[in-house]
Structure 1
Amino acid sequence: MSPQNLSLSDSLHIAILASILSLIIYWIIRDRYRVRNLNGKHVFITGCDTGLGNSLAKWLDKKGFCVIAACATEKGSQELRSCSSLSLRTVNLNLADSNSIARAVVFVTEQTAGKGLFGLVSNAEGTAPVGPTDWLRIEDFHSVLDVSLLGLIEITLKLLPLLRKAEGRVVNLINAKGLMAFVGGGYSLSKWGMEAFSDTLRIEMQHFGVKVSIVEHGFFKTEEGNSDVIEKHLFRLWNRLTPEIRDSYGEKYLVEYIKAQRSSVKRLCDYNISNVIKCMEHALIAKYPRTRYRAGWDAKFFWLFLSYAPSCLSDMLLHITFPAPAESRRPVHGVLINV
């Protein structure tokens, strides 16, 4: 078909497709730009005793960054230093303690020596008493929120002057299952709060050259041990319940609830931790970091899908996964009615 024979509608479709293709190519090229001269730039990472924070600290240390790793225990600090370069520094940090946060901020200020802080990666999570809401007390919420949300906010606020000086990066690591509130306790509250805080900070700090990214990750091999911690907390919560509440759920509920937690972790677990490491690295070294990264197949598909799915569908899936209390008054197909 010659250009003269093209209709106005066909020309418009071609123009739209060409524009979309141009934007995709532009985004791919733009996404590949990197910050130069990374050697000597300081990055502060929380939660480095084990897991993702520990792996990222080692990775960035090999890349030539001056890593300042915050660990909750002296044992974690010693083990990390033993397998890293001499430029890596560690500091003990308890995010639930304002005095500990203040000491860590002084340490970071001294280490950066007037250069400012290029990167802040917040990774630490509070202990996780998760379970039915009426099993919990207010202190159970504090044990999570004081670390995972309020502690994160406090240390970010105190490090903002250093980040603004270096026109640095803030990278907040958030478990993607926090996109969907399916268990009681402060866990999902802290994740939703981190999302809101990060978005607000990102918009405001754009004026000062500070970039803020969120890395939403799924279950990884390093987190399988959390199942034992969750199980321990569930037994503690169960043992302190009043006889009335315990009878309303039944012991079979506790057994099946623990089994459901364990099986869901095993089904969704991704063994390639490099996926989330690469996302955090890109957020730190890309000239134009993304607002959000999703690492792990469950973060990209399962949890994201559930967070946008109709409530009747997500409720049905969760009701299939988790047991019903002994005195449940929920009809067998009730979830399909509550649209």
Structure 2
Amino acid sequence: AATQWVKERVGNRGLWGLVNNAGVFPPLAYVEWMKPEDYMAAFQVNLFGMVQVTLSMLPLVKKARGRIVNVSSALGRISFCAGFYSCSKYGVEAFSDVLSDYHIGTHRSDLESWSSIYSNCKRLYKTYSAADLSPVTDCLEHALTSTYPRTRYSAGWDARFIFIPLSYLPTSLADYILTRSRRKPAQAV
């Protein structure tokens, strides 16, 4: 239905830009607390929904020699919490790489979807997130309008200077850095 609506509006010109920004960030929990349905729900929106929209709009984007911008997350490069969310965002990164291999203008941004985050996580975001969305919108604008867009964008200082660099470290070192402030279980007696 959405593809038909877009076709009616763009006609033979095709679609210059497609921004895949939908996503869910289910509650943070340990892996063993989650059900398979929790994983499927995150994958359905964060990955499969994006793939479905992209594949249905792809002929229009190719016709206009346009661009696709897939909004991902730093947790698609390094995982330290929200396993099912990270798994789905790794899938976004992989799908974006596959599209790039076919010379389609694909760009990724490390962003989060505010409107779909559960209320218990919103408190964390208010504590650790910036109120200014211009770094995010600037990345999207540059990816869509620049003559020479980048393959990947990082909108926040935390992604640019902490999470992305951590993804290049050996896993044991990155795990140590990310988990050293976590609560440790009580020692066995």
TM-score, reference length from structure 2: 0.87
Partner of 2:91: 193
Q: CA deviation at 1:121?
A: 0.2
**TM-superposition CA deviations, 1:199-238 (whole Å, max 9, x none):** 110121x2xxx31111124x7xx8499462448xxxxxxx
What are the residue-to-residue correspondences of 1:139-288 with 2, within 5 Å? 139-204=37-102, 206=103, 210-217=104-111, 223=114, 226=117, 228-230=119-121, 262=124, 266-267=127-128, 269-288=129-148
Query: SS of the residue aligned with 1:114?
Result: helix
Partner of 1:124: 22
| Pick aligned residue for 2:2 from 98, 104, 123 | 104
CA contact (8 A) 2:3 2:56 kept: yes
What are the residue-to-residue correspondences of 1:295-334 with 2, within 5 Å? 295-325=155-185
| Rounded Cα–Cα distance in structure 2 between residues aligned with 1:297 and 1:316 | 21
Larger radius of gyration: 1
Partner of 1:133: 31
| Rounded Cα–Cα distance in structure 2 between residues aligned with 1:184 and 1:122 | 21
Query: SS of the residue aligned with 2:150?
Result: coil
**Cα distance 1:183–1:158, how it changes in 2: closer, same or farther (>3 A)?**
same
- Compute the RMSD of aligned alpha carbons: 2.5
Query: SS of the residue aligned with 2:69?
Result: strand
**TM-superposition CA deviations, 1:310-335 (whole Å, max 9, x none):** 33332223323332345x77xxxxxx
What are the residue-to-residue correspondences of 1:79-94 with 2, within 5 Å? none
| Rounded Cα–Cα distance in structure 1 between residues aligned with 2:22 and 2:65 | 23
**Cα distance 1:227–1:288, how it changes in 2: closer, same or farther (>3 A)?**
same
**Cα distance 1:224–1:305, how it changes in 2: closer, same or farther (>3 A)?**
farther
**Structure 2: gaps (5+ residues):** none
Partner of 1:289: 149
CA contact (8 A) 2:69 2:106 kept: yes
What are the residue-to-residue correspondences of 1:36-47 with 2, within 5 Å? none
- 1:186 alignment partner AA: F
| Rounded Cα–Cα distance in structure 2 between residues aligned with 1:224 and 1:305 | 28
| Rounded Cα–Cα distance in structure 1 between residues aligned with 2:55 and 2:40 | 20
% identity of equivalent residues: 38
TM-score, reference length from structure 1: 0.51
